[in-house]
Structure 1
Amino acid sequence: MLANPDEGVHLVTIQEPRAGFAPDPTIDLEGSPNRIGPKLPIPHLGIKPEAKRPIWFIAGIVLAQFGIYVALLGPATVSIQLKAQTLTTDAAEQVAMTAMVIAPGALAAVIFNAIGGRISDRTTSGLGRRRPWMVLGIMGLTLSLLLIALATGPLMMAIGWFLSQACANLAFAAFLASVADQLPAEQYGKTSGLIGIAQNSAVMVATWLSAAFSSNMLLLFMVPAVLGLVLVSVYALMLPEPVLKANRYPFNLRELVATFWTNPVKHPDFGLAWWGRFLIILASYLFITFRLFYMTNHLGLSAGAAAAAVAVGVTVYTVASMVAGLLAGWLSDKLGRRKVMVAVSILVFGIGTYGLLHVDTVTGFYVCEAIMGIAYGMYLAVDLALVFEVLPDRENAGKDLGVFNMANALPQSLAPGVGGFLLAKLGGGTDFTALLVAAAISALFGAVLTMFIRGVK
């Protein structure tokens, strides 16, 4: 262990490099200590941590995840649809407007998640690699959501959502890389489960906030944005960060292109995990993007009743996912098995999605939400732990996790266009058959591909 003599006994690394690990003069051995809480050991770059993090630090991770998602997913799941309904009363136009606004924003998520991860790997700030991008990103997200709240037309909404996704994904890329930096493998499953619970809880809270503020566009977007700003900033101050004194790698055109690519032939397990995530997120967002329209156009509810029913449904989904996520995360660490649990959860999610096709009551909708919640809770609890296990390069974890998070963002970009076509063109805006069948098939393929991962049980 290395200590800073100017501050008494202050541990700054979790572990010394093993024999054969060449000292790197570009790494500041003192690092950037956490500003909140008892001083924590600072990880050494490129070495998987061995010491466990305390409960209060894990709580900071969970709350930061909650903060990012409550700010971002409220608009993605409900608020933008409610905003669209204030600009037009035609159902087909509302669907088209929602798709037009969300699609370019999801493209921004693809670009800036990957770039954000690579930039945070290379950042030489005295505050660390991840912390500056988390704070700047969440501040930018808050301002961008304000632009959407004040928008007077779809173009301004689309610009605001593009900027929102860009800033949120800069923050999220740095955040997720920080989790990989800080945790030992024995905390992957439990923490992954808690992160999944935080994500689903954020969707639930964002949905309830949307129902509460559905008539006030400013509060609808800004209440979750400010909550996210506070929680992410607090975690950034809790983070003990390694510091680069100098950038060891050039950032040229070749490096820029490589930012968006991790060779699936060289790293097949990582590639299969990527496709599994891509397909379940596509299945999820094919429905989530048009969930409010499902309630109004398929079940025949009014806009207000639909928002309230969606809020209840998301609550059912979240409670089910919390229970399943806690159990699955604990089991995956206990048994050391992740792949089978991931594949089964994706398959069950597809079954729940297909079940929506045969629902004609709000109660039936809640049942399907419960099934999908159980499946998605299991999935999120185990899949992130699986991904941490198959990372190709720990020292550049931000870059590889940025590539992996493209599997989150790309489906969100595709879902509005694909789903909008299936719903508006094949379903006339009210028939969800093609949309939900496509979602179920997507989940099925994701489950099959996950089973081919070899490096994880």
Structure 2
Amino acid sequence: MAWLFVANLGLWMAIYAPIQILLPQQAEMLDRADKVVVFGVVTGVGAVVTMLVVPLIGVLSDRTTSRFGRRHPWTLAGSVLGAVGLVVLANAPSVAVMTLGWSLVQAGIGGMLAALTSTVPDRVPVGQRAQVGGLIGISQMLGTVAGGVLVVVVDDLPRSYLACAAVVVIGALLFVLMTPDTQLVRKPVRLTLWISPREHPDFAWAWLGHFMINLGNALGTLYLLFFLGDVVKHPSPDQGLLQLMALYGVALTAGAVLFGARSDRTGRRKPYVYLASFVMALAALLLVVWPTWVSALVAAPLLGVGFGIYTAVAIALLTQVLPSATDRAKDLGVLNIANALPQAVAPLLASAILTGLGGYRGLFAASALATGLAAWVISRVRSVV
């Protein structure tokens, strides 16, 4: 679990340092007038690539009979492809090349995430999965904060991309070298990406709830750097974002550790999802009513603790509704579409909202609505309490 934590830390640094800081800065450098549109197009295309690649990697991982294991080859290969994409971004002279680079990053890191996530149902008993989910949530938080710190310390856009590339490969390599992997002797007969909502309704409801939570989170966080600069008028939006990320991270850690352990002790999952949904919606509504720097300082830890609770419990809940033990990576890949699809949908929605449906107040209101609806959707899951 320690090495899984390290691998996830490198993965999230390679995702969040670009998406929170580097990509917005690069979009502004390449096209200051249309920076929001450029950022939306780049992240949207990357999200579509993730949706296509992750289930495919899941299928391949479930059917891999390599002597090196069924998950490790894809973990390492994904990290290398993601690093290549980061190198492309470091030298991108145009929006087209920037889009290509981020697409490679999303394909590689998405494949790595599919393989790493599959190790949880492969190896972790149900009664410990929320605690493991908490650890993964902490790695995500630390990756967010550490990625921001890395960018500030390096203080150079191309070199920051290269540093992220090194980090993700090192994390994957350590996990592959230091942990065993199960070896599949015979490939499963079944080969399909389709999971019938009629036959597996709990899986369908869990997928939709996961999508809504991630959509709300994407709407609330993707444009924070622009929000700090354009609305709050923060004198240094980069530094302000780093402060918010630090507050978010501490709160996320507390939520993931405390509530993940409690969920495992009680065996209950849904009440904690309801709590997470409420707290995250409250954070977004705070920015609707009071879009100031002080409000952001309050909203950041609220969002952090809510997402920390959800991240811990979501791993347990989602792995408990998987249709088949033999297709875990593929099924988790389908679930991971609910992570990636909001990254494609959110920029389109955000562009419409920011230009004609209430600006940043409307954007945060939409975030609260999506997050609140997630609680109702998860209540439809019957096989998990």
Q: CA deviation at 1:361?
A: 3.1
CA-based RMSD: 1.4
Matched-pair contact (CA < 8 Å) for 2:31–2:38:
no
Q: CA deviation at 1:417?
A: 1.3
Query: 1:146-225 alignment to 2 at 5 Å?
Result: 146-214=87-155, 216-225=156-165
Matched-pair contact (CA < 8 Å) for 2:234–2:293:
no
Corresponding residue pairs, total: 385
The TM-score with structure 2 as length reference comes to 0.96
Q: Which residue of 1 aligns with 2:82?
A: 141
Query: 1:4-403 alignment to 2 at 5 Å?
Result: 58-90=1-33, 93-214=34-155, 216-249=156-189, 255=191, 258-259=192-193, 261-302=194-235, 305-403=236-334
Q: Which runs of 5+ in 1 are unaligned?
A: 1-57
Aligned residue among 354, 364, 374 for 1:446: 374
Q: Which runs of 5+ in 2 are unaligned?
A: none
Bigger helix share:
2
- Per-residue Cα deviation, 1:303-332 (whole angstroms, up to 9, x for no partner): xx1010000101100101101110011100
Q: Summarize the Cα distance change of 1:206–1:375 in structure 2 as closer, same or farther, 3 Å threshold.
A: same
Q: CA deviation at 1:235?
A: 0.9
1 CA distance for matches of 2:291 and 2:77?
A: 45
Q: CA deviation at 1:238?
A: 2.7
1 CA distance for matches of 2:45 and 2:218?
A: 15
Instruction: Give the number of the structure whose alpha-carbon radius of gyration is greater.
Output: 1
Q: Secondary structure in 2 aligned to 1:308?
A: helix
The TM-score with structure 1 as length reference comes to 0.82
Q: Look up the equivalent residue of 2:364 and give its one-letter code.
A: L
Q: Look up the equivalent residue of 1:266 and give its one-letter code.
A: E
Q: Secondary structure in 1 aligned to 2:183?
A: strand
Q: Secondary structure in 1 aligned to 2:189?
A: coil
% of aligned pairs identical?
30
Matched-pair contact (CA < 8 Å) for 2:188–2:326:
no
- Per-residue Cα deviation, 1:39-89 (whole angstroms, up to 9, x for no partner): xxxxxxxxxxxxxxxxxxx11111111111111121122210011122233
Higher alpha-carbon deviation: 132-141 or 359-368 = 359-368
2 CA distance for matches of 1:202 and 1:164?
A: 16
Q: Which residue of 2 aligns with 1:432?
A: 360
Q: CA deviation at 1:425?
A: 4.0
Q: CA deviation at 1:297?
A: 0.8
Q: Which residue of 2 aligns with 1:40?
A: none
